[in-house]
Structure 1
Amino acid sequence: MNVIIVGGGKIGRNLAMFLTAEGRHAITLVEKQEQVAHSLMRMLPDIRVIEGDGCDPSVLRDAGAEFADAVAAVTGDDEDNLVIAVLCKREFRVGRVAARINNPKNAWLFTRRMGVDLPIDTAQTIGRGLEADINLGAIVQLTRLREGRISLIEFTVSAESSAVGKNVASLHLPPDCLLTAILRGDDVILPSGETVIQAGDQVIALAYRDREAALSERFQ
């Protein structure tokens, strides 16, 4: 599937890494800030990164919007995300468009009429997570998959963690848990069994919801 992600912040970057890890998608990431775009090019060598404003039809065309199966507008600006959604749906006839809602007061605008097939309301997601007793202290849930049975989660390894200095293989991770990436400074590491955990590592993992607590224990 050809996927365009507009917005190279934390959400866009993590989404790009997650979809790349699945191995079934061609990803293009659009970021308008020059410094951020160049940093992403270094961090994500397997992903096509374009420097440009996603609200510009010519930039979307260069990104391949005419042939895209899906577009995710995940910038930090609601107006930009709506403009991107409208352009992708009406100008380029993209089949599926997701758009991030930054301000909950604007949620009513993110409709199919505005080109949005899938509105992503971060505040609502966190609120529902709190209601579901999700632990947002050690582990932050980025998204849920497979009807909520699987979570894409992120956590930071503290200096006091027993995992510091150990390789991934020696941690004996619970079944059905997969470390998909480690963010270390400006580097993105695709971990193997020999990868050594360091204090301050931001770990991104896939886990069944009933395995999250056991996974967290390995890094305490």
Structure 2
Amino acid sequence: MRVIISGAGQVGYGIAEKLSIEGIEVTVIDSNADLVQRVRDTLDARGVHGHGSHPDVLAQAGAKDADMLIAVTQVDEVNMTACQVAHSIFEVPTRIARIRSQTYLSPEWANLFARDHLPIDVIISPEIEVGDLILKRMAYPGASEIVSFEDDKVMVIAVDVREDCAVINTPLRHLTDLFPNLQATVMGVRRNGQMHVMSSRESLIAGDQALVAVAKDQVSRVLGLFGRDEQPPSRVVIGGAGNIGRYVARKLEESGEGINVRLVENNRHIAQIAAESLKRSITVFGDALQEDILREVDIRDAQMYLGLTNDDETNILSSVLASELGCKANFALVNQPQYPRFARRLGVDAFINPRTVTVSKVLRHVRRGRVRGVYSLFDGAAELIEAEALDTSTLVGKPLREFNIGPGIRIGAIMRGDEVIMPHGNVRIEAGDFVVVMALAAQVRQVEQMFRVSLDFF
């Protein structure tokens, strides 16, 4: 498979890094020579210096023989033009574009991206993707990570294991006896900074961060077993009134739940846009790192603070300050993968990495076979995969106990129509089932083989 990536920033580099590790032929285009050189020096990928929307540059990158173009520069119009050129001149089969401006994504202009107009197969809006994930986290504040699959029938949550956890030091195979109606599977843990796939003979210990696949209607029950069943916030302060901050505030307004939202923004122009575009939320012009500003928005009475500025340090430090001033919980947008390791020690409750969200969305469309969803965990240490089982899948037809799936892989849930089935030895996967699997990075290819379309597809 040959993939061209236009844009070598954080998102483009992250996609190229992931695909090149998996042996996919990748070429990265960027107008910044330093970024192109970084790709050449650190990745098993080609780097081309130039504008990704220019035909001669795309030709140099091998667009004539490319299977996919992924346009993720910072400029929407460059991404859209690159897709148009790739389609009209080079007939690249699949075109993916990052589009940030919400006006392009308004439903009334949906026909703009039809094949006869701007031929873009997949549109990625980081602001919407990240914003929706934040809203899900807010609905279940006890979870530090949430991934949803198959129209939210199944969710995978990451939850901290503390001393008061009801299932601590209990072999996982006993959980079915203790909670016979519980639709949940502990797939793995992050322990001492390392990802570990759990077997039914093992137990959770204090300090783990557990990854649990659970039917949506039982998420609150599972969080309760971990001692983390917390109520969604009714008063929220958002640091940063940019695209993500405004999107979250708007959705909270539209929820009709009467949530009190206040935003803090240190850019006067952006603050003015937020004040004019939001109906009930209050926007304050000021710095979220200043105590008097946070006190002005009544941070002491807030249940949650969201650090959603474009600056990681501001998001982390303002989250810590908000907690010190009395806010019940905090959440930070963090782009640098090394920051969460120490930010948690400072008192930041939860994080989200926009790059990881965007890369995961792109990987869903790059994967081969019937893989429908992919989500990278902990900077690529493991992945959650949602795949459809076909007749040719090696998993179909026999009880799970007869398969030697091997280490590093754990099935979390099986979805059959409207039914959610938790895996155990007697369960048989049928053709047409959707299966949620956790795999360590080294085993991802094995999972793809398990759900292959045909023997010669790979």
Name the TM-score class by shorter chain: 0.5 to 0.7
C-alpha distance in 2 between matches for 1:81 and 1:30:
12
Match of 1:62 in 2: 60
Kindly indicate whether residue 30 of structure 2 is the aligned counterpart of residue 31 of structure 1: yes
Preserved CA contact (<8 Å) 1:7 1:30: yes
Kindly indicate whether residue 177 of structure 2 is the aligned counterpart of residue 2 of structure 1: no
Deviations 1:153-198 (A, max 9, x none): xxxxxxxxxxxxxxx9974422189xxxx977xxxxxxxxxxxxx9
Preserved CA contact (<8 Å) 1:78 1:106: no
The AA in structure 1 aligned to 2:132 is: R
Preserved CA contact (<8 Å) 1:5 1:74: yes
Shift of 1:104: 1.5
Instruction: Indicate the SS of the match to 2:197.
Output: coil
Identity of paired residues, percent? Answer: 25
**Relative to structure 2, which stretch is displaced further, 121-130 or 11-20?**
121-130
Preserved CA contact (<8 Å) 1:111 1:119: no
Preserved CA contact (<8 Å) 1:88 1:115: no
Preserved CA contact (<8 Å) 1:8 1:30: yes
Match of 2:195 in 1: 173
Match of 2:123 in 1: 119
- Residue number among 69, 72, 82 corresponding to 2:70 in the alignment: 72
C-alpha distance in 2 between matches for 1:111 and 1:61:
24
Shift of 1:72: 0.4
The AA in structure 1 aligned to 2:32 is: Q
Give RMSD over aligned pairs: 3.8
Structure 2 unaligned blocks of 5 or more? 157-189, 199-210, 212-335, 344-352, 354-377, 386-411, 413-458
Match of 2:80 in 1: 82
Deviations 1:103-135 (A, max 9, x none): 121224444330101111111111221232279
C-alpha distance in 2 between matches for 1:59 and 1:82:
15
C-alpha distance in 2 between matches for 1:171 and 1:123:
29
How many residue pairs were aligned? 173
Deviations 1:8-44 (A, max 9, x none): 0111000111112223x11001111112222222222
C-alpha distance in 2 between matches for 1:93 and 1:132:
38
The AA in structure 2 aligned to 1:104 is: Q
Instruction: Indicate the SS of the match to 1:93.
Output: coil
Quickly say closer, same or farther: Cα 1:2–1:125, change in 2 above 3 A.
same
- Residue number among 360, 363, 384 corresponding to 1:208 in the alignment: 384
Higher-Rg structure is 2
Preserved CA contact (<8 Å) 1:28 1:63: yes
Shift of 1:92: 0.5
Preserved CA contact (<8 Å) 1:7 1:31: yes
Quickly say closer, same or farther: Cα 1:39–1:10, change in 2 above 3 A.
same
TM-score if structure 2 supplies the norm length? Answer: 0.33
Preserved CA contact (<8 Å) 2:6 2:12: yes
The AA in structure 1 aligned to 2:12 is: G
The AA in structure 2 aligned to 1:53 is: H
Match of 1:190 in 2: none
Quickly say closer, same or farther: Cα 1:169–1:127, change in 2 above 3 A.
closer
Quickly say closer, same or farther: Cα 1:130–1:111, change in 2 above 3 A.
farther
Shift of 1:150: 10
C-alpha distance in 2 between matches for 1:13 and 1:147:
29
C-alpha distance in 1 between matches for 2:93 and 2:136:
32
Higher RCO by CA contacts (8 Å cutoff, separation 6 or greater) = 1
Matches within 5 A, 1:8-23: 8-23=8-23
Instruction: Indicate the SS of the match to 1:54.
Output: coil
The AA in structure 2 aligned to 1:21 is: I
The AA in structure 1 aligned to 2:383 is: A
Preserved CA contact (<8 Å) 1:31 1:51: yes
C-alpha distance in 1 between matches for 2:64 and 2:57:
11
C-alpha distance in 2 between matches for 1:169 and 1:110:
45
Preserved CA contact (<8 Å) 2:29 2:47: yes
Instruction: Indicate the SS of the match to 1:174.
Output: strand
Quickly say closer, same or farther: Cα 1:183–1:126, change in 2 above 3 A.
closer
Preserved CA contact (<8 Å) 1:74 1:99: yes
Match of 1:131 in 2: 135
